[in-house]
Amino acid sequence: MKKEQRLYTPGPTQIPPRILRAISRPLIHHRSDEFKDLFHEVRERLKYPFQTQNEILILTSSGTGAMEAAISNLFSPGERVLVIEGGKFGRRWTGISQAFGLEVVKFPVNLGEVADPEAVDRAVAQDGKIRGILTTLCETSTGTVEDIQGLGRVLRGSAILFIVDAVSGLAVDELRPDDWGVDVVVSASQKGLMLPPGLAFLSLSPRAWERVEKSSSPRYYWDLREYREFGERKLTPYTPAISLLFGLKEVLALIEEEGIEGVWARHRRLAQATRKGMEALGLELFPQRPSNGLTVVRIPSGLDGEKLLGTLRTDFGVLLAHGQEELKGRIFRLAHMGWVAEGDILRVIGALELALRKLGLQVAVGEGTGAAMDLLMGVNR
Amino acid sequence: MKKEQRLYTPGPTQIPPRILRAISRPLIHHRSDEFKDLFHEVRERLKYPFQTQNEILILTSSGTGAMEAAISNLFSPGERVLVIEGGKFGRRWTGISQAFGLEVVKFPVNLGEVADPEAVDRAVAQDGKIRGILTTLCETSTGTVEDIQGLGRVLRGSAILFIVDAVSGLAVDELRPDDWGVDVVVSASQKGLMLPPGLAFLSLSPRAWERVEKSSSPRYYWDLREYREFGERKLTPYTPAISLLFGLKEVLALIEEEGIEGVWARHRRLAQATRKGMEALGLELFPQRPSNGLTVVRIPSGLDGEKLLGTLRTDFGVLLAHGQEELKGRIFRLAHMGWVAEGDILRVIGALELALRKLGLQVAVGEGTGAAMDLLMGVNR
């Protein structure tokens, strides 16, 4: 029997069957009253997992598209932004900003570490010309969660726009944009929101909207003024990914049922259990400030990461992610993001124990799952 | 019993159940070998319905996104393009080109008419600085199909890039880009390709690729060099709409089974039958050179188009499209595009007969369907 495979990858994530059923509904037309009702409803209800009172704009694209929309709508060529670069997705902000002719001041962070808000504050003050700060909620390349609340605190009162890529991390790690002073949140469908990839999201504060009016950067598909204007009529300017909107409505019901604090708490508990499990197996965690969406582990010296993940995939049906770019071969990434429960954690830790043994490591089978269960179920062994 | 509704709208179109099932498969990861095999396969097989030897690039976006990708990759600010403007989608080329700082020479065409290739040739020769011609295969706002072959003939031998928006029209109206000298074809998933919206496609000739290297327009998500480079490794640069790629594989099987000439011939026959049916009901067709993807009909004076389409929708479960912008209230649009067979045509013409009667028009019920059947089945009445 071919093994059913479960995704423990940091996007796309495993999709609940209920969502898969919803996206296979026959289409409705994107100018019909039925569509208008659906679209208006999901936009209103999305404010809850986004924890914002700002309108949510829905784009048909990958998350990177919404990042480009943020840059091209908020800044003009020659304007200066500070990018917190702690990994691949921080660097993506730099790439997009430079493509649109912005002046980028890099704030480099060692891989696996986060930016110290006070140090960012000093860098911004010293520079004096920064118009926006671009960062990442969950940097999935290192498994790190930035201190968004701390950054918001030091930026409060300044005219600098605070823009957070929460493609990874939304509905996973705690994020309260309105309370924390985040102006723009970017996200996408295929991570905490448990949908297939294809939708991206943006929310903008009122002062971010003022910038949109002033930007001279070229944009058409990404012109957020069009999305706002059509949105007021419960429409999209271009034909949207209707099937995914069917799924989004179901996702919102799942999140509302659990409550967003409940969603965050579940991820926190599962992440803690996973980390305990890894430590019990003698594995070393990579990030200093780990996201609750994934656990990133250093590959022990002498172990072939390709072989480890290959064994996990073919022998145990669990798909983990490799390190990317300079972290290739140095780490593996185990995501517990979105549709994840206790049993999924035990399954993957158990598989990891067996795979490590199979590859010749002296692992006490049961130690990792036991430690995770201790935390999850409060069992004293 | 609530009436099941069938889409006779020019995108999105009705989706075959087999495709709906395919898109609800559990996801695979976009960096896995299984994905690479799927992605490489659909890209190769897409060349057949596109009738090109050029690589097909697959973007996650609406069709408008691929239009923007064409403009931002092929031209630099200040360069001059000629846009054939015969309706809403022709004007979209103008809008995008102007947003990216191109100089647009408009070649206006009366609504429902097409551009005379000889006249375009003269306009281009007179100007002397045109770098590209932008047109539309099927202008769905008027139901017109441009003479792409004729335009290609007059442009042959020139250095002008010939770019066709075939979002509507691909796998519907005959299109042979390589034979006809089309450099760039843009399309999308939700029309002739019988998929939900969310994927867009581009093919570029070798000389179009040379322009991509030279363009100074800002782009990141749309940077086609990235799609080409990742494509060589059977990958996408950003997380793609994986579910729709599952569906695309099934769509390609459907098209290959019928043959692309068969697909074109079926649309031609169904379009002819629909036009015969309309004429038999005393209705006047709008376009001079009708696309085989939809039939656009003038609303008889004294008839309320809103009421007509409302009755068709609520009483007969068939969803047609209104006119847009300046054609609002003057026409209705009946699409037979994608997953359409004889019975669908009879159903909609029958519904139209009854709806017209219900609204007080003297219509001989059976005349429209009879005329359509004459053509479809070769029955002599």
B232-270 pLDDT tens trace = 999 999 999 999 999 999 999 999 999 999 999 999 999
Q: Is it the case that residue B381 has pLDDT exceeding 70?
A: no
Check whether residue A50 and residue A137 sit in a common domain. Answer: yes
Mean residue pLDDT across chain B: 97
Give residue B249's pLDDT: 98
Of A67, A190, A242, the CB nearest to B196: A242
Check whether residue B65 and residue B96 sit in a common domain. Answer: yes
Question: Which chain A residues have a beta carbon less than 8 Å from that of B99?
Answer: 218-220, 223
Q: Which of B162, B163, B165, B105 is nearest to B129 (CA)?
A: B105
Check whether residue B248 and residue B266 sit in a common domain. Answer: no
Check whether residue B347 and residue B263 sit in a common domain. Answer: yes
Residue B367 within any structural domain of the chain? yes
Cα distances from A184 to residues A72, A135, B53, in angstroms, run 13, 11, 43
List the structure tokens of A275: 């980390």
Q: What is the strand order of the sheet A331-335 is part of?
A: A294-298, A331-335, A321-322
The answer to whether B133 and B155 are in contact (CB under 8 A) is yes
Full-model pTM:
0.97
Residue A1 within any structural domain of the chain? no
Domain extent for A106: 17-258
- CB contacts < 8 A, A to B, total 161
Q: Which of B232, B258, B284 is the last residue of a domain?
A: B258
Q: How far apart are CA A321 and CA A353, in angstroms?
A: 17
Q: Is it the case that residue B324 has pLDDT exceeding 90?
A: yes
What is the 3-class SS of chain A, one letter each residue? CCCCCEECCCCCCCCCHHHHHHHCCCCCCCCCHHHHHHHHHHHHHHHHHHCCCCCEEEEECCHHHHHHHHHHHHCCCCCEEEEEECCHHHHHHHHHHHHCCCEEEEEECCCCCCCCHHHHHHHHHHHCCEEEEEEECEECCCCEECCHHHHHHHHCCCCCEEEEECCCCCCCCCCCHHHHCCCEEEEECCCCCCCCCCEEEEEECHHHHHHHHHCCCCCCCCCHHHHHHHHHCCCCCCCCCHHHHHHHHHHHHHHHHHCHHHHHHHHHHHHHHHHHHHHHCCCCECCCCECCCEEEEECCCCCCHHHHHHHHHHHHCEECEECCHHHCCCEEEEECCCCCCHHHHHHHHHHHHHHHHHCCCCCCCCHHHHHHHHHHHCCCC
Size of chain A, expressed as the number of residues it contains = 381
Give residue A196's pLDDT: 98
Q: How far apart are CA A279 and CA A374, in angstroms?
A: 13
Comparing alpha-carbon positions, the chain B residue that sits nearest to A24 is B20
Residue B156 within any structural domain of the chain? yes
Question: Which chain A residues have a beta carbon less than 8 Å from that of B168?
Answer: none
Give residue B3's pLDDT: 73
The answer to whether B170 and B193 are in contact (CB under 8 A) is yes
pLDDT tens-digit profile of B33-83?
A: 999 999 999 999 999 999 999 999 999 999 999 999 999 999 999 999 999
For residue B337, the distance in angstroms to the closest alpha carbon of chain A comes to 14
- Tens-level pLDDT at each residue, chain A (381 residues): 667 899 999 999 999 999 999 999 999 999 999 999 999 999 999 999 999 999 999 999 999 999 999 999 999 999 999 999 999 999 999 999 999 999 999 999 999 999 999 999 999 999 999 999 999 999 999 999 999 999 999 999 999 999 999 999 999 999 999 999 999 999 999 999 999 999 999 999 999 999 999 999 999 999 999 999 999 999 999 999 999 999 999 999 999 999 999 999 999 999 999 999 999 999 999 999 999 999 999 999 999 999 999 999 999 999 999 999 999 999 999 999 999 999 999 999 999 999 999 999 989 899 999 999 999 987 554
Residue B133 within any structural domain of the chain? yes
Q: Which of A234, A258, A282 is the last residue of a domain?
A: A258
Q: How far apart are CA A376 and CA B126, in angstroms?
A: 77
Give residue B379's pLDDT: 58
Q: Is it the case that residue B125 has pLDDT exceeding 90?
A: yes
Q: Is it the case that residue B1 has pLDDT exceeding 70?
A: no
The answer to whether B210 and A255 are in contact (CB under 8 A) is no
Q: Which of B238, B258, B278 is the last residue of a domain?
A: B258
Check whether residue A21 and residue A140 sit in a common domain. Answer: yes
The answer to whether B342 and B31 are in contact (CB under 8 A) is no
Q: What is the CATH number of the domain that holds B46?
A: 3.40.640.10
Check whether residue B277 and residue B140 sit in a common domain. Answer: no
Q: What is the CATH number of the domain that holds B268?
A: 3.90.1150.10
Check whether residue A214 and residue A327 sit in a common domain. Answer: no
Check whether residue A73 and residue A205 sit in a common domain. Answer: yes
Q: How far apart are CA A10 and CA A294, in angstroms?
A: 7
Contact B60 A62 (CB under 8 A): yes
* Average pLDDT score over residue span B18-46: 97
The answer to whether B139 and B90 are in contact (CB under 8 A) is yes
Question: Which chain A residues have a beta carbon less than 8 Å from that of B239?
Answer: 11-12, 62-63, 188, 190, 197
Check whether residue A37 and residue A155 sit in a common domain. Answer: yes
List the structure tokens of B190: 């939700």
Q: Is it the case that residue B162 has pLDDT exceeding 90?
A: yes
Give residue A239's pLDDT: 98
User: Which residues have C-beta within 8 Å of that of residue A77, sequence separation ≥ 6?
Assistant: A100, A101, A102, A216, A217, B218
- The H or E element spanning position B86 is none
Q: Which of B219, B171, B206 is nearest to B55 (CA)?
A: B206
* Average pLDDT score over residue span B301-310: 96
Comparing alpha-carbon positions, the chain B residue that sits nearest to A8 is B29
Question: Which chain B residues have a beta carbon less than 8 Å from that of A24?
Answer: 20-21, 23-24
User: Which residues have C-beta within 8 Å of that of residue B122, sequence separation ≥ 6?
Assistant: none
Q: Which of B148, B229, B171 is nearest to B46 (CA)?
A: B171
Check whether residue A96 and residue A232 sit in a common domain. Answer: yes
Helices (H), chain B: 17-23, 33-50, 63-74, 88-99, 117-127, 148-155, 177-180, 206-214, 224-232, 242-258, 260-280, 305-316, 342-358, 367-377
Q: How far apart are CA B21 and CA B42, in angstroms?
A: 18
Contact A60 B60 (CB under 8 A): yes
* Average pLDDT score over residue span B336-342: 98
Look at the alpha carbons of B25, B31, B37, B40 in this order and tell me if their dihedral is positive or negative: positive
Residue B1 within any structural domain of the chain? no
Q: Using 50, 70 and 90 to split pLDDT, how confident is the model at B377?
A: confident
Check whether residue B131 and residue B109 sit in a common domain. Answer: yes
Residue A146 within any structural domain of the chain? yes
Comparing alpha-carbon positions, the chain B residue that sits nearest to A69 is B221
Check whether residue A340 and residue A373 sit in a common domain. Answer: yes
Residue B333 within any structural domain of the chain? yes
Packed helices B206-214 and B224-232: angle between N→C axes, nearest 10 degrees = 120
For residue B379, the distance in angstroms to the closest alpha carbon of chain A comes to 34
Give residue B4's pLDDT: 82
Q: How far apart are CA B12 and CA B20, in angstroms?
A: 13
Whether omega before B287 lies within 30 degrees of 0, making that bond cis, reads: no
Q: Is B268 left (phi over 0), alpha (psi -120 to 50) or beta?
A: alpha
Of B60, B62, B223, the CB nearest to A238: B62
List the structure tokens of B227: 């799609």
How many percent of chain B have pLDDT more than 90? 97
Contact B221 A62 (CB under 8 A): yes
Q: Which of B40, B27, B55, B14 is nearest to B244 (CA)?
A: B27
Q: How far apart are CA A343 and CA A348, in angstroms?
A: 9
Q: How far is CA A52 from the centre of its chain?
A: 17
Give residue A89's pLDDT: 97
Residue B61 within any structural domain of the chain? yes
Comparing alpha-carbon positions, the chain A residue that sits nearest to B222 is A65
Structural domains counted in chain B: 2
